[in-house]
Chain A
Amino acid sequence: MSSFNWQSIKNDFPILDNSRREKPLVYLDNAATTQKPLAVIDKVDEYYKNYNANVHRGVHSLSVKATDAYEGARETVRDFINARSVRELIFVRGTTEAINLVASSYGGSKIKQGDEIIVSEMEHHSNIVPWQLLAERAGAKIKVIPINDHGELDLNNFPAMFSDKTKILAVGHISNALGTINPIKDMIKEAHKHNVPVIIDGAQAIPHSKVDVQDLDCDFYAFSGHKAYGPTGIGVLYAKEALLEAMPPYQGGGEMILRVSFDDTQFNDIPAKFEAGTPNIAGAIGMAAGLEYINNIGLDAIATYEHELLEYALERAADHPQLKLVGTAKHKASILSFLYDGVHAHDIGTILDCEGVAIRTGHHCAMPVMDHFGVPATARASFAFYNSRADIDALFKALDRVKEVFKL
């Protein structure tokens, strides 16, 4: 394993301190949400205890301090994904709201009757339903990039999917249900050949691999703070400046205006134009602390270590003939989605929970993926850098209990 002291990293996460609980917790549901390090919890705590105030409003020093921290968080995000300017970053509730913002504002103004929207079969519902709602309203059509039986995008016919009616491509960076890492840079290049902008759902990618929005040349990139060791209820929409300038506001209210009268209301500059109302200040500050925490470890080291965990899990899985992987892409993140000899995922989830192992079971908000593989649900273990080989051993030991209970 890599040289970083991964064992001691668990100590940064109060919830993983097993001396505090009745039975040890092995947390393997990181694709749903990650646990929070003390560095994040303390930052949020400090804001509420020492300088809670509304931002961009008061002249008093508390408000100035809160505004500096909130805008400082935007700069941290900018640096983290290498955006050109903080003007390109909108704070939202999470990935879902970011995609809804684009569908509503960009899509609402650009996508008309007969236009086409391309999504993929492996998308999370949050990158399907906003486009369906838009398509319904506008009279547009949704085209779906299929997946193969390894759970990879089948891109053989991809260039031919574009037409002069195609108005946007919406695709995930890493699949939450399968772990597949998609070749988004090539896909973006292809889309741009047809002058089609691209939105990337980056919820699963941000905590695990280096994302450089300029290098990718994506037009929109969406992610959530809570999957990157930050709080829930905060996320980011990155968008190229020219697009944001041209887009109509998403919601109306305070903060997003320069001047209001009943004759004429003038909107604020970006990014404020898209941040109506008092934002999630503590959330933004906490999210930035989570990204800084990731930076301190280093995303390259994280990616290498998590890949080692995945390799180890795959090695252990190979010894279990009952276990069938769903999602066997060549390029895969540390997500292990599986079936277990006809035992329903929820039975697996309950038995594992009794053994202290927390995994996700169900359709993972990706029902089209489940349909593709002809299963109602899968069990999914997803690893973060605070997990260890011992955690993976605990997973497989708990799976032995499934065998026992169901007499397999």
Chain B
Amino acid sequence: MSDLRELYQQVIVDHNNSPHNFCELQDANRHAHGYNPLCGDKLSLYLTVNDDDIITDAGFQGTGCAISVASASLMTDFLKGKTIADVKAFFDEFHAALTSEHAKSHMDFGKLAVLLGVKEFPARVKCATLAWHTMQSALENKGREASTE
């Protein structure tokens, strides 16, 4: 029960009910689709990156469970103003914290720490990581769909 409260913290429920940056960016220069075949979660991510490699704007659209929507909402908030190098470094730490039981990070994840509740729910980790895989795909401009599989 306490695990459940840990997973569905107020912040998660709020972001699910009214996700931030839930829009297609008309002037985006990076774009990727994400798909979680297990859940059917679908995500389109839009990023605007300037000449200094700074993400100036981020938006997303799609359907998914509360965890994946909240994760995308929180992530797009977080991305704005960060450099690509910062984001990549952060992603590695954060991904490890989400997926590895033994990962001990000294990094302050700030608001994103609410997503760490999924660790107790192995079946749901992919819901939390979908947005992040999609973001990686957009930054690398692979041009193909990011998948959690």
Residues of chain A at the chain B interface (Cβ within 8 Å): 343-347, 350-351, 354, 362-363, 367, 370, 376-377, 401, 405-407
Contacts and interface: CB of A to CB of B under 8 A. Distances in A.
B39 A350 contact: no
23 contacts: A343-B66, A344-B39, A346-B39, A346-B65, A346-B67, A346-B124, A350-B4, A350-B121, A351-B8, A354-B1, A354-B3, A354-B4, A367-B40, A376-B39, A376-B63, A376-B64, A377-B39, A405-B4, A405-B8, A406-B8, A406-B13, A406-B17, A406-B66
Given A344-B66, A362-B39, A370-B40, A350 B13 contact: no
Contacts of B13: 405-407
Interface in B16-63: 16-17, 38-42, 63
Given A405-B8, A407-B13, A347 B42 contact: no
A363 B38 CA distance: 8
Interface residues of B, number: 22
Contact of A362 (B38, B42, B124): B38
Nearest to A346: B65
Contacts of A346: 39, 65, 67, 124, 127
B46 to A, nearest CB: 21
A347 B121 CA distance: 11
A407 B16 CA distance: 12
Given A362-B38, A362-B39, A370-B40, A350 B64 contact: no
B40 A376 contact: yes
**Listed residue (B7, B38, B40, B41) with the most chain A CB atoms within 10 angstroms of its CB:** B40
A354 B127 CA distance: 17
Given A350-B7, A354-B1, A406-B66, 18 more contacts: A346-B127, A347-B65, A347-B66, A347-B67, A350-B4, A350-B123, A350-B124, A351-B8, A354-B4, A362-B38, A362-B39, A370-B40, A376-B39, A376-B41, A376-B63, A405-B8, A406-B13, A406-B16
Nearest to B121: A350
* Most A CB within 10 A of own CB, among B17, B42, B66: B66
Contacts of B41: 376
Contacts of B39: 344, 346, 362, 376-377
B65 A363 contact: no
Contacts of A407: 13
B40 to A, nearest CB: 4
Nearest to A363: B40
Nearest to B3: A354
B22 to A, nearest CB: 14
B38 A344 contact: no
A402 to B, nearest CB: 10
Contacts of A367: 40
A162 to B, nearest CB: 34
A189 to B, nearest CB: 37
Nearest to A402: B8
Interface string B110-127: 000000000001011001
B59 to A, nearest CB: 20
Contacts of B121: 350
B60 to A, nearest CB: 16
B58 to A, nearest CB: 22
Contacts of B38: 362
